[in-house]
Structure 1
Amino acid sequence: MDHTRTLAPTSDRTHLLAVVGAGVLWGTGGLTGVLLIDRTGLGVLAVAAYRLLVGGGLVALWLLATGRLTRLRLGGRSVRRLVLLGALAALYQSCYFAAVSLTSVSLATLVTLGASPVLVVAAESALGRRRPSGRILLAIATAIAGLALLVGTPAAGDPKAVLAGTACALGSAAGFAAITMLGARPVDTLGPLPTAGLSFCAGGLLLLPVAALTGGVTVGLDAGTVAMLLYLGLAPTALAYGLYFTGLRTVATGSAALISLMEPITAAVLGAVVLDERLGTAGLAGAVLIGVAVLMTATGRRR
């Protein structure tokens, strides 16, 4: 009996579920970050830096406790890849929050999450020298339309600020797209979780001085704050990116970027439940369209 035929579909489904799980976990990060800012008064860059440092630190402690840290063989290429991933994570986070401060959450979210799959598919097509399938293009269009309905129409503002905010959001999208493309190429013998954790340690160390210069990083560590920091670093950061990099083993990068749009759906649901935010008819329609786009992607051809 040929076991390859039975194992391959199972592996594909597992990796697909890993990407879906990453999107859902990312959706909890926004709410946790908002609650942490309200509780501590930290700036957004400080929260982003702590998110990376705590997530990376927890993975490093796990590697140390299990004895895997001493067995890791990090060559020059591995170290460069980890530092690059960390720098891209810091860029992705800081550009997004800069876009929010210059414009609004709706515009920053719309441009960042809407442009990410477009950039990934464009890069994937250029590197593979092939045109994207009609199914993927239709899924992207459906997802962007759904995202626009879900986050709402961005409010008008100062044209210069809107332009600068849009540029920052595109920079954030480019950072996430680059992380997706690099994540599809494992770092030598490192697994997905060590890759995510060690790169986030580097990213957090790069972002922390910037956060200190722009808004301060001092925070009182009571039990509630520690719990939020641990959750923010573990679930929507270390675990989510570990799942995402795992899924990229068989899920095409363009498809993974589209499936990650489970993030705004999860965030919208949590906002409605926890913060009593009303989605409205347009928001519900947008969530349905994003869900349709994710299903179109998930049931399409994987690499």
Structure 2
Amino acid sequence: MPKILPLSGASRGVFLVLLAWMIWAVDPILIRVIGQVSSLVLAGLALTAGGLTALPRGLKALRETPRIPGKYWLLFLVYILVCTGLAEVCYINAVQRLNPGLVSVTLRSQLILVVLIGFFAFKERFSGVTWLGILIILVGNLLNGWYRYTHSGDQIGKAALLGWFLAMGAMVCWGLGTVFGKVLLRRFAPITMTALRLTTAGILLIILSLVRDGVTVWQNLELWQVLLIIAKGSLISALAYNLYFHGLKTVKVGVAAAIEQLAPVLTFFYTWLVFRETISPLETCFVVLMLIGTFTTIAGEGAGDR
């Protein structure tokens, strides 16, 4: 991949991961604009479009890659089914029921899962300040879940609570995806992973939607919705995933997950800008708590590197 900035090593990796999340922050806004489309249809078409965008380069890179052992292909299959297909369906359903910014914040609790796996599986070491930041982030997310539960009396509240649980499901899937992705990058080129995982997961979800709902849901799609879904897949998912994988090659899995905490800020701003939708003062406190945890984690990593 050509150099975007005169950076090298971990610094360049951090920049690429950050850039990927700046692009991803637009994604939930597009989902809301598209409207109440079946999550299988939306996810299937978007993932397929994104995968096909990267497929020619991905296959070319795969042909130039040394033979990949079967165990990596098996892990890649799990990565496609759980960390891509299932995660995307949970995520889309969550955004359709809950403020996109709150979904983004909820997804950030994957940090504790990712860091623990990185600590035990990859023998990565983190400073005490980093662990403090992780704890703060976890507390912020748990408080957010508590708030959703205590405000689930009416229909809107129940939908929001379901959205939070779905976001937690996506969080677990994507948290595992960060770790699995780190392992798979030992054998697969980033562009190959982007192309194969998106295309395969997308086609499987399209088939599943046809089996479950038939062609009716597809016939009800309007042209502008189809175009936005394709844009979501090809202009957001494919580009962001490619940047993310390139950055992940030189960044610790915990640091990569920590950078994600900056995404909700943009998502909240975009949500207000497009829908004029805000959150309560208490929810704002939870978000601020999350950001404090983020910067504490990043500061801890900076001190550890020195």
TM-score, normalised on structure 1?
0.76
> Cα deviation per residue 1:10-37 (whole Å; 9 max; x = unaligned)?
321111011112222221111111111x
Q: Determine the structure 1 residue equivalent to 2:110.
A: 116
User: 1-side partners of 2:252 and 2:28: how far apart?
Assistant: 26
Deviations 1:133-183 (A, max 9, x none): 32222222333455578899313259x999987765544222111110121
Which aligned runs of 4 or more in structure 1 are off by greater than 6 angstroms?
148-152, 160-167
Question: 1:26-105 counterparts in 2 under 5 A?
Answer: 26-36=24-34, 38=35, 41-61=36-56, 63=58, 71=64, 75=68, 77=70, 79-87=73-81, 88-97=83-92, 104-105=97-98
Instruction: Look up the match of 1:247.
Output: 247
Which moves more between the two structures, 20-29 or 164-173?
164-173
SS in 2 for 1:278: coil
**Number of the residue aligned with 1:182:** 180
**Alpha-carbon distance change, 81 to 298 in structure 1, aligned in 2, over 3 angstroms:** same
For 1:161 and 1:21, the matched residues in 2 are separated by: 32
Amino acid at match of 2:152: A
Kindly tell me the number of residue pairs found equivalent between the two proteins.
289
| CA 1:98–1:15: 2 relative to 1, 3 Å | same
Conservation of the 8 A alpha-carbon contact between 2:68 and 2:187: no
Q: Which residue number corresponds to residue 133 of structure 1?
A: 127
Q: Which runs of 5+ in 1 are unaligned?
A: 1-6
- AA aligned opposite 1:91: L
Query: Partner residue of 2:202?
Result: 204
Q: How does 1:222-241 map to 2 (within 5 A)?
A: 224-241=224-241
Give the counterpart letter for 1:42 in structure 2.
V
8 Å Cα contact 2:118/2:254 also seen in 1:
yes
Q: In 2, are the aligned partners of 1:83 and 1:203 still within 8 Å (CA)?
A: no
In structure 1, give the amino acid aligned to 2:147.
Answer: T
Q: Percent identity?
A: 25
Contact 1:42 1:219 in 2 (8 A): no
Give the distance between the partners of 2:130 and 2:295, measured in 1 at CA.
11
Q: Is the 8 A contact 2:103 2:164 kept in 1?
A: no
How far has the Cα of 1:233 moved from its partner?
Answer: 0.5
Aligned to 2:152: 156
Question: Deviations for 1:242-281, whole angstroms, at most 9, x for unmatched residues?
Answer: 1221221122112211211233222111011111123454
CA distance in 1, matches of 2:288, 2:146: 14
Change (3 A) 1:149 1:19: farther
CA contact (8 A) 1:111 1:170 kept: no
Name the amino acid aligned to 1:116.
Q
Task: Assess, with a 3 A threshold, how the Cα gap between structure 1 residues 58 and 129 changes in structure 2: closer, same or farther.
Answer: closer
C-alpha distance in structure 1 between counterparts of 2:199 and 2:239, whole Å? 14
Distance 1:265 1:146, change over 3 A: farther
SS in 1 for 2:109: helix
The unaligned stretches of length 5 or more in structure 2 are none
Q: Deviations over 1:224-256 (max 9, x none)?
A: 334412320024311112122122112211221
Secondary structure, aligned partner of 1:251: coil
Question: Deviation of residue 287 (structure 1)?
Answer: 4.5
Q: Which residue pairs with 1:4 in the alignment? A: none
The answer to whether the 8 Å contact 1:43/1:215 transfers is no
Which whole-Å CA distance do the structure 1 matches of 2:254 and 2:220 have between them? Answer: 41
CA distance in 1, matches of 2:199, 2:126: 35
Structure 1 residues 111 and 170, CA gap change in structure 2 (3 angstroms):
farther
Equivalent residue, structure 1, for 2:298: 298
Q: Judge conservation of contact 1:151–1:283 (CA < 8 Å) in 2.
A: no
User: What's the C-alpha RMSD, in Å, of the aligned pairs?
Assistant: 3.9
